[in-house]
Amino acid sequence: MATDFDAAIVGSGFGGAVAACRLAEAGYRVVMLERGRRWHRQDYPSISRKNWIWNELDPVRDHGWLDIRHFGTIATIAGAGVGGGSLHFANVVIDAQPDLFDEGWPSEITFAGLAPYYQKVSDVLEPRKIPSNQFSNRTKLLKEAATNAGFGAQYDEVELAVTFNDDYAYDASREPRAGDSIERPNADGVQQGFCVHLGQCDLGCPVDARNTVAVNYIPRAERHQADVRPLHVVRSVEGLGDGYRIHFDRIDNGGLRPGSLTARIVVAAAGSIGSTELLLRCRDQHRTLRHISSTLGTRWSSNGNYLSPAVHRGRKVYPGRGPTITAGIRFFGANTHNGQHVMIEDGGVPDLLDEYRDELSNPRGDANRFGGLLRALYRVLEREPVEELMPWFAQGRDIPSGTFRLQRRFLGLLGRDVLRLSWDPSNARQVLDAIHELHRTLAGTTGGRILLQPPDAPITPHPLGGCPMAESATDGVVDHRGEVFGHHNLYVADGSILPRPVGHNPSKTIAALSERIADIIVHEGK
Ligand SMILES: Cc1cc2nc3c(=O)[nH]c(=O)nc-3n(C[C@H](O)[C@H](O)[C@H](O)COP(=O)(O)OP(=O)(O)OC[C@H]3O[C@@H](n4cnc5c(N)ncnc54)[C@H](O)[C@@H]3O)c2cc1C
């Protein structure tokens, strides 16, 4: 069958950008369909001060930066736009701990086997540690706390996908200035400045110092004729025998315009929530992909994310300056804490709270959808000096037992099918308790005081799982090659295929798995 494209990639984050780039480089005719817009520097929320929110229920009105969903017991944050989660991520690009692959994965997936793919990701994203002459006040605080608490050997600065300039004379006491950065074309011909510690990573760096996939993998794919289509919301995938038809809605001129195209190979890379929802709708609502495993939607985890704001009286922490995360203390291998696998990090906060001071009293504002956490933080911070605030951040390995399913909107009986998540907070209790205890110890040993109790319904920026990788369809949705059991040439390559949480920043593992999947597609000659 003649198809419009050899490969259609749905989504353009860490999984999708890698797959699109490698398949295009290998000569495949690639189309990449991305629901969000293509962001340019002047449109970033850090500069435009608007377009914060992607609203799944009304994407024509709100097709902004972040997709925040409330699933009852937990909320999730994901990105929307060409570049996916890399647009707003905090730049930490690190290999998984080797023991991650010891259980729960197909036997073909090992740390040693993934090593060359991690390297390929490093070759493109060029992660490196923050230069030692540019430690932010948060970096120094984390290091001091680790040493004081006896965890000095577990402390290190983390690798960041950020362009630094070793000669930049950083002065932590001075307000950072965008004008200090100098732009140069990167290896893919995209203009990037170097990091001058503006602290806006999550809202789009005003000098583009961040090595997001939008400035390397994606332009590289386009140089090899990949057709990147923003504002295309993929609704379903239909099997055609020897290929697939992809149905989408294009956001255009204040409306949704339906369309479709065909491809021999489909790579779903819409993220843990996006790919899982898409495949659930195809299997259960549209009935276009009927053979997908009954395990679809399962093994979802929050990756144990947790943030404890602490006030450090008399100490200028400046949470709004410097790269959002710079360093970590690892509790893995022989150093687990109370048997829990945990990574403690410093977490920066862009000056977002100031932006929302007025909006919080306006129920129609975007800010209202940021939910309780922001409001609680704001209430606390009103009484505390923001420059003395240390956001102690962490992730850990929770139990991957969340399950997505589709359900009728009203009472489960009426209305359209909506995505629901069953997630029992007790599955993360032990790891969150371990983190809370560590945060208290670390803050305490450096004169800090934790301000908030653990929230009842946490919020995770690292949704993982839903289309787990496994040995067979009895245990998962895709095989070790990323191919969906029962559907030839339909692949999933994103955070949804992780059968268990990484326990720290997952993007490099997602990208490395996608490198491996693309490599297999090319070498199998599909
Ligand atoms: C504030 C924040 C900071 C973070 N910091 C870090 C960090 O420092 N290090 C790290 O490793 N991780 C970090 N993460 C997590 C990281 O961003 C995600 O783990 C990662 O982006 C997931 O990659 P992915 O390819 O699975 O999906 P994504 O990167 O989310 O990409 C999926 C893409 O698919 C698109 N999409 C979804 N549905 C559809 C559809 N139906 N049709 C078309 N397109 C669709 C989305 O718009 C999106 O662009 C952070 C997350 C947040 C929220």
Higher per-residue pLDDT: 224 or 378? 224
Which pLDDT does position 414 carry in this prediction?
78
User: Using a 6 Å CB cutoff, which residues line ligand 1?
Assistant: 10-16, 33-36, 77-81, 84-85, 88-92, 202, 233-234, 269-272, 274, 278, 325, 461-462, 494-495, 505-507, 510
Closest C-alpha to ligand 1, atom 50: 89
Distance CA 347, CA 457 (A): 20
Sheet bearing 342-346, strands edge to edge: 155-157, 327-331, 342-346, 389-396, 306-312, 448-450
The domains of the chain are located at: 5-523
Q: Are 309 and 451 in contact (CB under 8 A)?
A: yes
Residue 280, pLDDT above cutoff 70: yes
Our mutation pick for probing the ligand 1 site, out of 87, 89, 393, counting the most ligand atoms within 8 A of Cβ, is: 89
Segment 320-325 mean pLDDT: 95
* Helices marked H in 86-207: 111-125, 137-148
Which pLDDT does position 375 carry in this prediction?
63
Rounded to the nearest whole angstrom, what is the distance from the C-alpha of residue 168 to the centroid of ligand 1? 31
Q: What CATH number labels 5-523?
A: 3.50.50.60
Residue 366, pLDDT above cutoff 80: no
C-alpha torsion angle, residues 86, 90, 94, 96 (rounded to 10): -90
Q: What are phi and psi of 364, to 5 degrees?
A: -85, -10
Element (H, E) at 309: strand 306-312
% of the chain surpassing 90 pLDDT: 85
Question: pLDDT, tens digit, for every residue of 401-432?
Answer: 999 999 988 877 778 899 999 999 999 999 99
Which pLDDT does position 370 carry in this prediction?
53
Segment 170-198 mean pLDDT: 94
Which pLDDT does position 326 carry in this prediction?
98
Mean pLDDT score of the chain, rounded to an integer? Answer: 93
Which pLDDT does position 241 carry in this prediction?
85
Residue 138, pLDDT above cutoff 80: yes
Question: pLDDT, tens digit, for every residue of 474-505?
Answer: 999 999 999 999 999 999 999 999 999 999 99
Residue 41, pLDDT above cutoff 90: yes
Higher per-residue pLDDT: 39 or 373? 39
Q: Which pLDDT band, with edges at 50, 70 and 90, does 525 fall under?
A: confident
Instruction: Please count the other Cβ atoms lying within 10 Å of the Cβ belonging to residue 129.
Output: 17
Our mutation pick for probing the ligand 1 site, out of 462, 492, 516, counting the most ligand atoms within 8 A of Cβ, is: 462
For tokens 């972040």, the residue is 66
Question: pLDDT, tens digit, for every residue of 224-251?
Answer: 999 999 999 999 999 998 899 999 999 9
DSSP-derived 3-state class of residue 401: coil
Rounded to the nearest whole angstrom, what is the distance from the C-alpha of residue 87 to the centroid of ligand 1? 8
Q: Are 13 and 79 in contact (CB under 8 A)?
A: yes
**Ligand 1 closest atom vs CA 15:** 25
Which pLDDT does position 184 carry in this prediction?
97
Residue 379, pLDDT above cutoff 90: no
Q: Which pLDDT band, with edges at 50, 70 and 90, does 380 fall under?
A: low
Q: Which pLDDT band, with edges at 50, 70 and 90, does 452 fall under?
A: confident
**Positive or negative, the Cα torsion across 96, 101, 106, 111?**
positive
Rounded to the nearest whole angstrom, what is the distance from the C-alpha of residue 80 to the centroid of ligand 1? 8
Q: Which pLDDT band, with edges at 50, 70 and 90, does 458 fall under?
A: confident
Question: pLDDT, tens digit, for every residue of 295-307?
Answer: 999 999 999 999 9
Q: What is the pTM of this model?
A: 0.96
Which pLDDT does position 457 carry in this prediction?
67
Which pLDDT does position 350 carry in this prediction?
83
Q: How many residues does the chain have?
A: 526
Residue 44, pLDDT above cutoff 80: yes
Question: pLDDT, tens digit, for every residue of 93-131?
Answer: 999 999 999 999 999 999 999 999 999 999 999 999 999
